[in-house]
Structure 1
């Protein structure tokens, strides 16, 4: 996998998430996996088309999703991943992915992003577009999130 397809996401999370109220954003290791992403509880899948093709699965636990949704909703308590919490998490993913798409555009790659789809539950898997994909581990305010990036240009 080409680093030029990963770096826009690293840049996007470090730029966008602090603007949304998150205090600490860091990234850990990278790994390569094949096709199937096993859910940790909440997965948001967002696609990209044209010059960059494929999808990205943002994967997290329900507890992490509740905390992220709470921050997105200005500290409002989130007891469950209801429609409001799902909307907040999807909007966060949309903003990060849109910023990565802007970086791709600056690199000369024409990109469209598709609306995100969110699935809640731990007994399912998601298939990413490519046979092999890169897993980028993030920590957002001490909460782990896994970005499963299956893109090609």
Structure 2
């Protein structure tokens, strides 16, 4: 595992989440997964091209997504993952990945990102573009979030 591919995403969480009102951001662990990602409820997929090619997929459960959307909407109660909540969560994934992109550029790695694709529901899988996926587990105000990165070799 190359920390140069992990740290820009962790740093993005540490930078972006407090600006949105989240208090405690903790990196938990890093692991390797196979190419099939099992859903926890919500997946946000962003394509990456440039010096690095692949995808980053943020995974969290639906309750966590609703809590995050609520915080992003200044505490407005979110009881279902409606269009407004989906938009908030999608924008968060965009903000995090754009910040990671800036972090990459500071180390001389140039990338561009796609718009996020949000998928949610029960019992589904996503097949990634590589056989090995680096999974970074983050805890944001006790909400577990996975950052799954699948990059072609540099």
How far apart are residue 129 of structure 1 and its match? Answer: 2.1
How many residue pairs were aligned?
153
Deviation at 1:149, TM superposition (A): 1.1
Aligned to 1:125: 125
In structure 2, the partner of 1:24 is 24
The answer (yes or no) to whether the contact 1:56–1:128 under 8 Å persists in 2 is no
Alpha-carbon distance in structure 2 between the residues aligned to 1:17 and 1:39: 23
Higher strand share: 1
Give the structure 2 partner of residue 114 of structure 1.
114
Question: Deviation per CA, 1:95-131, whole angstroms, max 9, x where unpaired?
Answer: 1100100111111112100000001112211122221
Q: Distance in 2 between matches of 1:21 and 1:27?
A: 18
Partners of 1:72 and 1:60 lie apart in 2 by: 16
Specify the alignment match of 1:39 in structure 2.
Answer: 39
Poorly superposed stretches of 4+, deviation over 4 Å: none
Runs of 5+ unmatched residues, structure 2 = none
Secondary structure, aligned partner of 1:96: helix
Pairs within 5 Å for 1:141-152: 141-152=141-152
Aligned to 1:85: 85
Name the residue aligned to 2:139.
139
Give the Cα separation in 1 of the matches to 2:78 and 2:44.
18
RMSD: 0.9
TM-score norm. by structure 1 comes to 0.96
